[in-house]
Chain A
């Protein structure tokens, strides 16, 4: 039995969940962002993270994608502890999709090349095959015919849709979305959320950090409110309209 699946008191993960986080602690210097955080995301589930700016939503997503060093706790994907330093982080990240607030498309590549970069380099797919999939995916997010465009030639909403397509193209076990509409003006938010709702409808497992309460009501299976470094309150989307803790009520009111 390796250290990875050794049962540890208080840190026992849910092996059936796509993502299972136990006792997570992440700090930057003296500033503790996440502390003893527990969270599960089941197969085909869409979990929405709410919380004030600085509550650790982004840090949690980055920790799950192994972009942050964790002080303590376990992040398990399908029951396997990936925070173990013996686990190859690149292999783990290849199974996850992450979409950033600022799109992070590669400015020097066309949309087609942005989309096919990981399938070709990481997943070793033949170019023709990867490109055919990329064209189909761009069509799905409403960017048909824009394969040759560079990110700089697109609107923010179009760029974010392309970024979602890029994350989806590798068929991730879990799609992480980090405030993907925060950089967009209201007119463009709708088109991105519509795409996410359609992605949701295909059964993609999603963990979404957002401030869009309407989106949370519409697509979330479960809402988790982050406060004081942990999941303060969680439940069905109806808790948005009927908060069980004064902290969630304060967040929704403010």
Chain B
């Protein structure tokens, strides 16, 4: 049976379409006004000319771009390594911490202590302690390079965070799910692996993706240990030239990665129905 919209339905559809057009026009206008006001304030400021020359020098920016891109490549590699290691190790730690076996008590205590310490320490401090403290031990097998030590420090801190996210996700799985799995005869380990962890991962994906995005930026902190990443490369370019444009370029490069990444994460969350853009899900209007 085909449906021919009644005049009432047609009129309502037209009204809603008009509403949408008006909403769009209002949004466009308010955005335009806001941007225009911001530009006006900046351009008419007393120091605008000098600021422009020192921070927005296009020629200088192009000149330093290759060095900064090379630095960014390092950031991206560090980012991928830290993401993979802290997600995998974080999940393992969370599983260990949520086990009930008495044999594993020392391990649980150790994990709890590790998480407490590294979640409580500022990342910058961990970087400095690892970057300068570990080499002073003069261990022959320990690489002294800032890249490795910096990556290690970031991993130490972020693994503590991801372990806690996973733990919260595991604890949030409804007890009835475990009961059902055990009633089917699955062992404790099988229940964890096949029922609890998959649900925990699904529940915590938005929070974890957030962590992934923030790792991308924090990979720049290895620069304080002398690793020549995008930030360090910009610092080198600024030194002696009295032109701060490289910092702006480095910032743009980071945004070039992180903005598409956050958009992709949002789109993914939206598709999976975790979107924050629907305040009243389940209510039509």
Give me the interface of A with B, judged by CB distance under 8 Å: 3, 8, 10-11, 23, 25, 32, 35, 66-69, 71-74, 81, 83-86, 89
A179 to chain B, nearest CB (A): 17
Q: Do residues B1 and A35 form an inter-chain contact, with CB atoms below 8 A?
A: yes
B26 to chain A, nearest CB (A): 17
Q: Do residues B9 and A72 form an inter-chain contact, with CB atoms below 8 A?
A: yes
Neighbouring A residues of B16 by C-beta, 8 Å: 85
Q: Do residues B8 and A11 form an inter-chain contact, with CB atoms below 8 A?
A: yes
Q: Do residues A73 and B8 form an inter-chain contact, with CB atoms below 8 A?
A: yes
Q: List 18 A-B contacts (CB under 8 A).
A: A8-B7, A10-B6, A11-B8, A25-B3, A32-B3, A35-B1, A67-B284, A68-B284, A69-B285, A71-B5, A72-B8, A72-B9, A73-B6, A73-B8, A73-B9, A85-B285, A89-B284, A89-B285
> Contact mask B1-29 → A, CB, 8 Å, 1/0?
10101111101100110010000000000
The answer, yes or no, to whether B282 is at the interface (CB within 8 Å) is yes
Closest 4 CB pairs of A and B: A72-B9, A69-B284, A89-B285, A8-B8
B14 to chain A, nearest CB (A): 10
Neighbouring B residues of A67 by C-beta, 8 Å: 282-284
Neighbouring B residues of A23 by C-beta, 8 Å: 6
Give me the interface of B with A, judged by CB distance under 8 Å: 1, 3, 5-9, 11-12, 15-16, 19, 282-285
Q: How far is the CA of A35 from the CA of B2 in the complex (A)?
A: 11
Neighbouring B residues of A83 by C-beta, 8 Å: 12
A62 to chain B, nearest CB (A): 8
Contacts A74-B8, A81-B8, A85-B16 supplied; 5 other A-B pairs, CB < 8 Å: A8-B6, A25-B3, A67-B282, A72-B5, A85-B285
Neighbouring A residues of B9 by C-beta, 8 Å: 25, 71-73
Q: How far is the CA of A186 from the CA of B139 in the complex (A)?
A: 73
Closest B residue, CB atoms, query A25 = B3
What secondary structure prevails in chain A residues at the interface with B?
A: loop
Q: Do residues A71 and B3 form an inter-chain contact, with CB atoms below 8 A?
A: yes
B285 to chain A, nearest CB (A): 5
Closest A residue, CB atoms, query B280 = A67
Closest A residue, CB atoms, query B7 = A8
Closest A residue, CB atoms, query B12 = A85
Neighbouring B residues of A89 by C-beta, 8 Å: 284-285
B194 to chain A, nearest CB (A): 28
Q: Do residues A72 and B19 form an inter-chain contact, with CB atoms below 8 A?
A: no
Q: How far is the CA of A93 from the CA of B16 in the complex (A)?
A: 20
Closest A residue, CB atoms, query B3 = A25
Neighbouring A residues of B282 by C-beta, 8 Å: 67
B56 to chain A, nearest CB (A): 48
A163 to chain B, nearest CB (A): 17
A248 to chain B, nearest CB (A): 21
Neighbouring A residues of B19 by C-beta, 8 Å: 85
CB < 8 Å: which of B1, B15, B283, B284 contacts A86?
Answer: B15
Neighbouring B residues of A71 by C-beta, 8 Å: 3, 5, 9
Closest A residue, CB atoms, query B8 = A8
Q: How far is the CA of A85 from the CA of B9 in the complex (A)?
A: 10
Q: How far is the CA of A23 from the CA of B101 in the complex (A)?
A: 62
A4 to chain B, nearest CB (A): 10
Closest A residue, CB atoms, query B11 = A3
Neighbouring B residues of A72 by C-beta, 8 Å: 3, 5-6, 8-9
Closest B residue, CB atoms, query A62 = B284
Closest B residue, CB atoms, query A83 = B12
Contacts A23-B6, A72-B3 given; indicate if A84 touches B12 (C-beta within 8 A). yes
Neighbouring A residues of B1 by C-beta, 8 Å: 35
A26 to chain B, nearest CB (A): 10
Neighbouring A residues of B11 by C-beta, 8 Å: 3
CB < 8 Å: which of B3, B6, B15, B284 contacts A11?
Answer: B6
Neighbouring B residues of A10 by C-beta, 8 Å: 6
Neighbouring A residues of B12 by C-beta, 8 Å: 83-85
Closest B residue, CB atoms, query A87 = B285
Q: How far is the CA of A73 from the CA of B12 in the complex (A)?
A: 10
B180 to chain A, nearest CB (A): 19
Q: How far is the CA of A23 from the CA of B12 in the complex (A)?
A: 15
Q: How far is the CA of A81 from the CA of B283 in the complex (A)?
A: 19
Neighbouring B residues of A35 by C-beta, 8 Å: 1, 3
Q: How far is the CA of A86 from the CA of B19 in the complex (A)?
A: 10
A151 to chain B, nearest CB (A): 17
Q: How far is the CA of A83 from the CA of B284 in the complex (A)?
A: 11
